[in-house]
Amino acid sequence: MGVIIMESVSAHMQCAPPLQRLTSPRIDDEVSILVLALSTSQALRALIGLKLAPLGLAPGQDRLLATLHEKGPLTVSGLAEALNVRPSTVSKMMDRLAARGLTKRNHDDVDRRRISVELTDEGRAACQKLHTLCRAIEDELRADLDDDGERRMMAGLELLNEAVGQRLKRLR
């Protein structure tokens, strides 16, 4: 599977324009957390998109599948909340994933308007492939870091994630 992924990445990189990378993201002569974080997010999303393509998945669909795998059946609104997206986004992703036989919708016996979403056997198998893929991406990202570099990177990412999460909660 790794060879197929790398061939796909190589083929894509040959025909796709390079990502716009800001080599010196600055605001008022200081490195900008916002610009650097957005640039990193864009690059990670592109990398993950390339790695997911051989599985027939798009970015975001992996998170939906992983969330269902971890939490079990959820309502569309519960899944949207867990993913920090709108219910309409979940519905669109569900249409595509259900068409591939990876997820299914179930109507509540008491309230037919209430719909829960769950993985199928094929969806659970896809989650195993996703787990393997995520492990490989993680290994790639850690490959050039020593233990101290990895600890510092993780600490910085955790701080950023917490800060953004707190601000997001205040806005909702």
**Residues lower than pLDDT 70 in the chain:** 1-31, 172
Q: Which residues contact 66 (CB under 8 A, 6 or more apart)?
A: 127, 130
Spans of all domains in the chain: 1-55, 58-140
Give the C-alpha separation, 129 to 136, whole Å.
11
pLDDT value of position 26: 60
pLDDT value of position 154: 95
pLDDT value of position 5: 36
Q: Which two three-digit tokens encode residue 59?
A: 């970015």
Fold of 58-140: Arc Repressor Mutant, subunit A (1.10.10)
